[in-house]
Structure 1
Amino acid sequence: MTNADLRSSADSVLARLVGDTTGAARLREDQWRAIEALVADKRRALVVQRTGWGKSAVYFVATSLLRERGAGPTVIVSPLLALMRNQVEAAARAGIRARTINSSNTEEWDTVQAEVAAGEVDVLLVSPERLNNPDFRDEVLPKLSATTGLLVVDEAHCISDWGHDFRPDYRRLRTMLAELPPGVPVLATTATANARVTADVAEQLGTGADTDALVLRGPLDRESLSLGVLRLPDAAHRLAWLADHLGELPGSGIVYTLTVAAAEEVTAYLRQCGHTVASYTGRTENAERMQAEEDLLANRVKALVATSALGMGFDKPDLGFVVHLGSPSSPIAYYQQVGRAGRGVAHAEVLLLPGREDEAIWQYFASVAFPPEEQVRRTLDALATAGRPLSLPALEPIVDLRRTRLEAMLKVLDVDGAVRRVKGGWTATGQPWVYEAERYAWVARQRAAEQHAMRDYATTAGCRMEFLRRQLDDEEAAPCGRCDNCAGARFGDAVSTGALDTARGELGRPGVEVEPRKMWPTGLAAVGVDLKGRIPQGELAFPGRALGRLSDIGWGNRLRPLLAAQAPDGPVPDDVANAVVSVLADWAKGPGGWASGEADAAARPVGVVTVASHSRPALIQSLAGRIAEVGRMPLLGTVEYTSEAADEQMSHTNSAQRVKGLHRALTVSPELAAALAAAGGPVLLVDDRQDTGWTLAVAARLLRRAGAEGVFPLVLAVQT
């Protein structure tokens, strides 16, 4: 077949893919160059092109042509379920049979693998996490590598720890690449990679300058996007503005928030204002996510209020707007998210509404960087001396890392060859490993530079699209003529009194339920604590209350500065104390509350107990005193720290180590025990915040064992 015939066949596949019955569809020249390299020349290619350019068309058209020539199935490594679902539907339009293996369809894995083996699957979409699942890695991946006709790495910036969304699992692709038979083409695609990330990805995937590879990097301007920034006084004004103007925005779209709590708050408020919206976060159940995606695709909702869980690859060509309530920490991540809009329409609105809480949220996420060398070495030593695989729950109490951070660290070590995931957990390989302190520090500085750039984006007087393109090292960056700085602002900052009052009422409504810990963490025996399993009913705290979440945009904005590490200690402010009293009043009257009149309602608290604090004793004591005064209850005393507690390191990050420290450090004095016995009922347990819930759990256990008939935890804030 000549190249002209191949081009004609490729255009025919494209027509099926886009639903063109006229035969007028034609590949862009760079799309054709990539397909030609993959199909005719069996080369490797790296495509860095803007969202909406048509990267998926490249690998679907190439797949169809390769399959016609007898090649094995295409394997696409794809990071998000939403992206997978879009890709399966797009493939079907072109007559391409696509299946997935991911965390949401485990019951289908055997069937899918059998279909692949039988040659019934043209495209297999695999989540990067599967690449290091022991069964998949050892039994499925070798067979897959031997028969793959084309390997596609979608959202390839995830492979680079210089990028904004590094994922260690992606690095396992180097193993798969090494096992591919000679002549199997490889395609890597991304829309969000600057020059440094592009070079890193090219090197890792073998598509660098020293190989016979094709690198296609195009201009990143999105002619359909009109960018703008609207600075409003506070969260209430931002919500009110959105309620007033959401209906004016074109079509349907996405409202991004930085946290799950904010997404849930905004969704509730917009629904209250009559807007048809749905929430989409990392906590949303898979079935609800699928329904939300379908509703947005079918324009049954005006917007999804989403976190970054709805990000890469979600494909709705007519998405009319993207609004950010809060600024992402990276202009590259921001460009990636706004790229969801305007892919198939002439005009789409992109608006950033930055908030004063943004930087506090950035700092929190930055705090989960790669652990210090001491903790990494401790992990390697524990694995080396265990004599057996250790699971995450078994490792957690030994190395003092929270589970999500521990798992991420192990994945990096796995990629570096120092550990290996096997059935039953992780083992050390014994290979030498070097802690790349300079590299990790550079990445941290890079994150800080990105945050600085995002501040500059919000305040620049220059072209906003040009600014983003320069952040991505786009050499063709130039003023767009469309953004608010180029063409003038399209939206004013006025909000209606009604919307503002409703927003203030919604954000100012105090009270969050605090669910008590019900199970002791695993691994306590390994650290010398004789506690395990379910916490006995007689030692369990009742469900509690908090004034707000530190991650929300209502009370969170008031509580963050009050509870910040550098904040001075002092009496509780009147507005905070009054709001806590409102929480208590609503709590007492609510379902199951002590004043609800229900037969199974817990008895009314008969006294107030505090948790001792090294950093905020005045705040906690004054809060407890105000509660005792208003509730006409005695202040019974404090769960204290023992004299040996000064030797305990209380800044533990994982559950087992935290409980170990608290178990040894907290105590109920004889005087408090006597006061509990005399009071004869449940108590309110007052603390400043709940981070993990273990302080409240251990203190409640001590109080229950000392004679309290029940413990109602009450804190100012919860972390999430």
Structure 2
Amino acid sequence: MDLPAPDRLAEVLRQRFGLDAFRPGQQAAIEALFAHRRLLCIQPTGYGKSLLYQLPATLLPGLTLVISPLLALVRDQVGQLGARFDIPAASINSDQDDDENARAMAGATEGRVKILFVSPERLDNLEAWRFLLGLPIDLVVVDEAHCISTWGHDFRPSYRQIVRAVRTLAERRPSVRVLGLTATANARTEADIARQLAPDEATPLRVMRAAMDRPNLSLATVEAAGAPAKLAWLERFVAQSPGNGVLYCATRDQTAIVAGYLAQRGLEVAAYHAGLDPAAKRRLQREFLDGRWRAIAATNALGMGIDKSDLRFIVHVDVPGSITAYYQEVGRAGRDGLPARGVLLYDPADRRIQTHFIRSAQPTPEDFERVLAVIAPDADGAWPNLTRIRVRSGLHPTRVTVVLAELREQGHVEKVLIDRKQVYRRVQGTDTPLDLTRYTRQDAVRRAELDAMIRYAEGAVPCLMQALRRALGDDDAPACGRCDRCAPPAWADLPPVEANEGVAGWLLHRDVEIAGSRRPPMSAGLALLDGQLRAPPFIDFMRRRTQPGASLAPAVIDLLRRQLDALARRHTFEAVLPLPSRTWAQRDAVAALAAEHLGVPWGADALAWRDAPDARQGELLNNDQRRQNVRGRMGAALPGATEGALLLLDDYVGSGATLAEAARAVRVAGHGGDVVPLTIAKVRWRLGARGIV
């Protein structure tokens, strides 16, 4: 298709999108896409990058394929494209069930869809890949394009398949256009993206870069050491701030803590993270867009992708891993052009969690040797799938994913479809040594980016927005005149950071949720003590739990009764079933106490190992091994098919594998009512190593 006339672009903009004029740079970018076919557009968050493919999609005869990791944003865009602009759109991703994905695929195949969103991980699914190759794709959009670069702040192994997809689609349809979009790419990342998305060395990619300033966004940093100080500050800040906002957290557990504390203080705050089931994610996103919540405490599963233009504040409760990640996330505020604030809470201890993330994703030469060693056929000649490789290797799941992607890229391993199962097998005759220099480089880059982020958080920069802009390639960016370094009086209303014993007490006695599951059906439950706090009650329990004759501390007994009452308000219990244990000396006494408090019987031998696990869960290396260790080995002896709730009682929960196996056993035994877990403690297992974090 030839370059549309400016009048035609203006007509579509007005009639289809209801806009009278393009934002600065939008029309030039669309014209460049039609004229040059390959374009990388680097623009700040909130500058309308989505229009750069939405408008061309209405003019091109074929399909527009958008590869995006932002599932929350995708859900919102699919709905808006149809309802507001009459552009039929659909998505294929892991957050949807098989029926939803099948409907999306049918719509694309039958020509009823103009824009199809696909998560990068779907490109690694062999069946989905074959499906995509058969579609009449005219435009491929790589959202968050920095992710294809090892220099990018959020490099993802699955994004390596994007380059393959672009090249393969271009071979099949030479007329296909390619658009890369990102808000966070410095000069080095830009050059790497351009090299990978260019059709060949002789045909360079066109790059359009806008200035990274956000004139309506004001920035500040606040030093707050420890969770109690952060939570107390957040309560006052959210209460006094107008409008809605996002509270970014580094981990899922942190979202629960932040939302739980603020909610019990009367603020309408909910938690959002990738571990929620898809229905809960959709509900929370819809409610947030409709104004039901003042704020969402979220990991970047929501925060990067929420299409809510009127966010008035963004608070980072934990330091992110890089300035580029921070710029993208804080940039979600004020996309409507009205004044907005971004605040970073800084605790020097925050460095540890980001260092952990870097280390977890960084494979060693020994990891490659271990994965290669376990990719072998079993006794029946079957090659291993991903789960089997995780079980055999014992490595951190992220490392397994990274290692497999590298082994495939360097030709040592291939992923194939055998009997509708995706498995991995060694490529015979490959003796080329592995080149792992990219990981040395990537580790150095990530550590340097974290150092730069810490300097920003510590205030070792003269201007906050200037520091962000210069890190992203705006080398001549001036001071902004509005951050807390440039204009301290403008931030005089920020709450002070104060110690708060009440918050510390709440942390010790808060509800520690145990997530429910769909398969097997198990309701959400509670743990009494959060192991990550390493508080004295937790340390005392873990030390005394194996001692015969030792009892629970009085404070823990009080907490047990309180949580039993909380669960009894949600469920009508008919029995307490303690899980079998070779080490918990207080098991029977605690089960009897719980049963007496609830006024129900308890079954000492209702749950038992029919086939004892091969190892203790704490001795294993990852959660795949822990699930394999207990799967199918427990039996339940119930008085008959029952409909009341059963309380599953254990000393502590880590991966949740043993509780899930107990739930499976009681379902097999005929139980049709609720199954609710309760443990004394909740811990987090190390992944790729033994013990708890």
3-state secondary structure, aligned to 2:474: coil
Q: 1:129 and 1:263 mapped to 2: Cα distance?
A: 25
Q: Is structure 2 residue 169 aligned with structure 1 residue 173? A: no
Aligned AA for 1:426?
V
Residues 287 and 453 of structure 1, relative CA distance in 2, 3 Å threshold: same
Q: 1:468 and 1:150 mapped to 2: Cα distance?
A: 32
Residues 434 and 248 of structure 1, relative CA distance in 2, 3 Å threshold: farther
Q: 2:446 and 2:87 mapped to 1: Cα distance?
A: 40
> Cα distance, 1:580 vs. partner?
5.8
User: What does residue 142 of structure 1 align with?
Assistant: 133
Aligned AA for 1:31?
Q
User: What does residue 425 of structure 1 align with?
Assistant: 422
Aligned AA for 1:37?
A
CA deviations over 1:249-273 (Å, ceiling 9, x no partner): 2321111111212211221221222
> Cα distance, 1:414 vs. partner?
3.2
User: What does residue 150 of structure 2 align with?
Assistant: 161
Q: Is structure 2 residue 390 aligned with structure 1 residue 396? A: yes
Q: Is structure 2 residue 48 aligned with structure 1 residue 54? A: yes
Residues 579 and 327 of structure 1, relative CA distance in 2, 3 Å threshold: farther
Match of 1:119 among 92, 111, 125: 111
Q: 1:516–1:693: 8 Å Cα contact kept in structure 2?
A: no
Q: Is structure 2 residue 283 aligned with structure 1 residue 287? A: no
Superposition CA RMSD, Å: 4.4
Mapping of residues 27-46 of structure 1, within 5 Å: 27-28=23-24, 30-39=25-34, 41-46=35-40
Residues 514 and 34 of structure 1, relative CA distance in 2, 3 Å threshold: closer
Mapping of residues 62-141 of structure 1, within 5 Å: 62-65=56-59, 67=60, 71-92=61-82, 93-103=84-94, 104-138=96-130, 140-141=131-132
What TM-score, normalized by structure 1, do the two folds share? 0.73
Say how many residue pairs are matched: 602
3-state secondary structure, aligned to 1:152: strand
Q: 1:390–1:424: 8 Å Cα contact kept in structure 2?
A: no
Q: Is structure 2 residue 323 aligned with structure 1 residue 331? A: yes
Q: 2:270–2:297: 8 Å Cα contact kept in structure 1?
A: yes
Q: 2:249–2:298: 8 Å Cα contact kept in structure 1?
A: yes
User: What does residue 219 of structure 2 align with?
Assistant: 227
Q: 1:650 and 1:504 mapped to 2: Cα distance?
A: 32
User: What does residue 400 of structure 2 align with?
Assistant: 406
3-state secondary structure, aligned to 1:322: strand
Residues 120 and 570 of structure 1, relative CA distance in 2, 3 Å threshold: closer
Q: 2:362–2:443: 8 Å Cα contact kept in structure 1?
A: no
User: What does residue 555 of structure 2 align with?
Assistant: 582
Residues 549 and 355 of structure 1, relative CA distance in 2, 3 Å threshold: farther
Structure 1 residues not aligned, in runs of 5+: 520-533, 535-542, 564-568, 612-622, 628-644, 662-683, 699-711
Q: 2:500 and 2:32 mapped to 1: Cα distance?
A: 57
Aligned AA for 1:437?
L
Q: 2:184–2:325: 8 Å Cα contact kept in structure 1?
A: yes
Residues 510 and 385 of structure 1, relative CA distance in 2, 3 Å threshold: same
Aligned AA for 1:399?
S
Q: 1:652–1:658: 8 Å Cα contact kept in structure 2?
A: no
User: What does residue 26 of structure 1 align with?
Assistant: 22
Q: 2:385–2:424: 8 Å Cα contact kept in structure 1?
A: no
Match of 1:272 among 254, 264, 268: 264
Q: 1:266 and 1:375 mapped to 2: Cα distance?
A: 36
Q: 2:288 and 2:239 mapped to 1: Cα distance?
A: 15
> Cα distance, 1:96 vs. partner?
2.1
Q: 1:96 and 1:398 mapped to 2: Cα distance?
A: 47
User: What does residue 708 of structure 1 align with?
Assistant: none
3-state secondary structure, aligned to 1:278: strand
CA deviations over 1:624-660 (Å, ceiling 9, x no partner): 9xx9xxxxxxxxxxxxxxxxx9xxx957345538988
> Cα distance, 1:190 vs. partner?
0.4
Q: 1:562 and 1:604 mapped to 2: Cα distance?
A: 22
Residues 491 and 691 of structure 1, relative CA distance in 2, 3 Å threshold: farther
> Cα distance, 1:459 vs. partner?
1.7
Q: 1:128–1:170: 8 Å Cα contact kept in structure 2?
A: yes
3-state secondary structure, aligned to 2:9: helix
CA deviations over 1:220-269 (Å, ceiling 9, x no partner): 11111100011234322322222223133232111111121221122122
> Cα distance, 1:154 vs. partner?
0.8
Q: Which protein shows a greater Rg?
A: 1
Structure 2 residues not aligned, in runs of 5+: 591-613, 631-648, 662-677, 686-692
Mapping of residues 663-678 of structure 1, within 5 Å: none
Aligned AA for 1:480?
C
Aligned AA for 2:91?
T
Residues 494 and 248 of structure 1, relative CA distance in 2, 3 Å threshold: closer
Residues 424 and 56 of structure 1, relative CA distance in 2, 3 Å threshold: same
> Cα distance, 1:12 vs. partner?
2.6
3-state secondary structure, aligned to 1:367: helix
Q: Is structure 2 residue 203 aligned with structure 1 residue 211? A: yes
Q: 1:284 and 1:658 mapped to 2: Cα distance?
A: 20
Q: 2:537 and 2:336 mapped to 1: Cα distance?
A: 41
Q: 2:210 and 2:479 mapped to 1: Cα distance?
A: 17
CA deviations over 1:393-438 (Å, ceiling 9, x no partner): 3323322224454244323433444321423232225164643333
> Cα distance, 1:329 vs. partner?
1.9
User: What does residue 191 of structure 1 align with?
Assistant: 183
Residues 487 and 562 of structure 1, relative CA distance in 2, 3 Å threshold: farther
CA deviations over 1:288-318 (Å, ceiling 9, x no partner): 2222222222222211111111133422121
Q: Is structure 2 residue 506 aligned with structure 1 residue 506? A: yes
Residues 548 and 141 of structure 1, relative CA distance in 2, 3 Å threshold: same
Mapping of residues 220-619 of structure 1, within 5 Å: 220-386=212-378, 387-417=381-411, 418-422=413-417, 423-428=420-425, 430=427, 432=430, 434-460=433-459, 461-488=461-488, 490-491=491-492, 494=495, 500=500, 502-509=502-509, 512=512, 547-550=529-532, 555=533, 581-587=554-560, 590-591=563-564
Aligned AA for 1:424?
K
Aligned AA for 1:156?
A
3-state secondary structure, aligned to 2:208: strand
Aligned AA for 1:419?
E
Residues 164 and 2 of structure 1, relative CA distance in 2, 3 Å threshold: closer
Residues 301 and 430 of structure 1, relative CA distance in 2, 3 Å threshold: same
Q: 2:357 and 2:551 mapped to 1: Cα distance?
A: 31
Aligned AA for 1:94?
F
Q: 2:453 and 2:467 mapped to 1: Cα distance?
A: 10
CA deviations over 1:449-503 (Å, ceiling 9, x no partner): 1221111001225100111112222224221111110111514564699x94553
Q: 1:266 and 1:544 mapped to 2: Cα distance?
A: 17
Aligned AA for 2:564?
P
> Cα distance, 1:581 vs. partner?
4.6
Residues 64 and 692 of structure 1, relative CA distance in 2, 3 Å threshold: closer
> Cα distance, 1:115 vs. partner?
2.6
Residues 604 and 101 of structure 1, relative CA distance in 2, 3 Å threshold: closer
Q: 1:650 and 1:284 mapped to 2: Cα distance?
A: 28
Q: 2:87–2:114: 8 Å Cα contact kept in structure 1?
A: yes
CA deviations over 1:177-233 (Å, ceiling 9, x no partner): 222211211101100112222222112212687424311112111111100011234
User: What does residue 670 of structure 1 align with?
Assistant: none
Give percent identity, aligned residues only.
35
Q: 1:49–1:218: 8 Å Cα contact kept in structure 2?
A: yes
